[in-house]
Amino acid sequence: MTSNVAAMTTSASVPAEPEDAIGGEHSITDRLVEANGKYAAAFADPGMDARPVQRVAVVACMDARLDLHAALGLRLGDCHTIRNAGGVVTDDVIRSLTISQRALGTRSVALIHHTGCGLESLTEEFRHDLEMEVGQRPAWAVEAFRDVDQDVRQSMQRVRTSPFLVHTDDVRGFVFDVTTGLLREIDPA
């Protein structure tokens, strides 16, 4: 399917940003590169293996308020971190988990969703709106949800029933409270 080039340009629904915030010589990306220079100057090669020390893969939402390593007491080299919008177990997350387990030795999976997730305010209508705007419907599901507990259960189920994974006995799911920093475990039943 060909796309309408005119319709692919910026949309009125995308919030406008001040020019200096997204480009120019003091853009955020420039600041990231500058920070990396300082990081590398103090960096000593830890001589680590690619296999995670704690043999765990953490699947979590990309939410900016969720500092996974700090929240879970994880250190560099401890885990695989797989993040996307919602911490949804998509085919691509299964791809990463399969490689994590079969090539890099992880055995446990922790799923972390959170309170106040952006996906709670979306519906599958989002795909329809995109199609109306750009002329093609995305192949992916939005994976919006109303009940975060149920969404965590569905994610655990997707991991446990994947034919590609070899370790599905230690799969646990949690909701992280962005106001208290506490995890609440979700009963899979």
Positions that interact with Zn ion (CB under 5 A)? 61, 63, 117
Coil/strand/helix, residue 146: coil
Inter-axis angle of helices 91-102 and 148-160, nearest 10: 50
* Residue 23 or 181 with smaller CB distance to Zn ion: 181
Least distance CB 45 / Zn ion (angstroms): 34
User: Smallest distance, Å, CB 156 to Zn ion?
Assistant: 17
Complete DSSP assignment for 113-162: EETT-GGGG--THHHHHHHHHHSS--SS-----S-HHHHHHHHHHHHHT-
Q: Given the complex with Zn ion, which of 85 and 99 has the nearer CB atom?
A: 85
The least CB distance from residue 55 to Zn ion, in Å, is: 26
Measured from the CB atom, is 68 or 104 closer to Zn ion? 68
